Amino acid sequence: MKDYSEYFREAVASFLTQNPTLQKELASITVSEAENIGTTVEILRSQVINQRFVEHATLLGVDTTNLVLQFIDVPEDEKNQILKNYHQNLASSLGVDWQDYITINPHLSHL
C-alpha cells in the first residue's frame, strides 16, 4: 500500500484535471508574483492547488481524507484500509487507545 501522501498527490492531480478554472488560475501565476512573496512559481502553484483542494472539501462538508478517497481509483477495501490507517495515526498522535477512539467515533467501527 502507498503512503498517504502519494494518495493525496493522486487525488489533487485528479482534482486539477477536472477543474479547468483552477488550471487557468495556476497558469496565470507569474514569476514576479511568486518572487514578491519569496517563493518560486512551482511552490506557489502547489500551495494554491492544495488550498483549493481543502476549500473544495470544506464546500462539500467533508474532511480532506474523505475527499482524497473520492478522487483516487482503488478498491473499496483499500480505501477502508487508508481510512483506518489515517485514523489510527490520528488516535496515536492524540495519545488515545484505538478502541477508545472507535468508542468516541462509532461511525468508524466498520474499520
- pLDDT > 90 in the chain, percent: 95
| C-alpha–C-alpha distance, residues 109 and 99, integer Å | 9
110 and 100, same domain (yes or no): yes
| C-alpha–C-alpha distance, residues 2 and 50, integer Å | 19
Note the pLDDT tens digit of each residue in 87-98: 999 999 999 999
Task: State pTM to two decimals.
Answer: 0.83
Mean pLDDT over each residue of the chain, to the nearest integer? 96
40 and 63, same domain (yes or no): yes
pLDDT of residue 111: 87
| C-alpha–C-alpha distance, residues 93 and 3, integer Å | 17
Q: How many domains does the chain have?
A: 2
Mean pLDDT of 64-77: 95
Provide the domain limits for residue 4.
Answer: 1-73
